[in-house]
Amino acid sequence: VFFDIGTATDTWHERVFQPGVGVGARWRSPVGPVNVDVAYGLKNKSIKPYLTLGIAF
């Protein structure tokens, strides 16, 4: 379970922080890590699923 807040912008003056909450699971499979997350954006009221396979580098 997580809470996150962040933004992505080119300049500091354009920043608009977006909060979100979600839940995730991690599994060490025989072929590498598998990450599954589901996040809910509190401002835009949208659900976003994320699936990550392998190691981020």
Q: Cα–Cα distance between 29 and 8 in angstroms, integer?
A: 32
pLDDT tens per residue, range 7-49: 988 988 889 999 999 999 999 998 889 999 999 999 999 999 9
**pLDDT for residue 57 is more than 90:** no
pTM given for the model: 0.70
> Cα separations (Å) of 38 from 3, 10, 13, 20, 31?
12, 27, 30, 10, 22
Domain holding 27, by residue range, is 2-53
Tell me what pLDDT residue 45 has.
93
Tell me what pLDDT residue 6 has.
92
Tell me what pLDDT residue 55 has.
75
Number of domain units in the chain: 1
DSSP 30: T
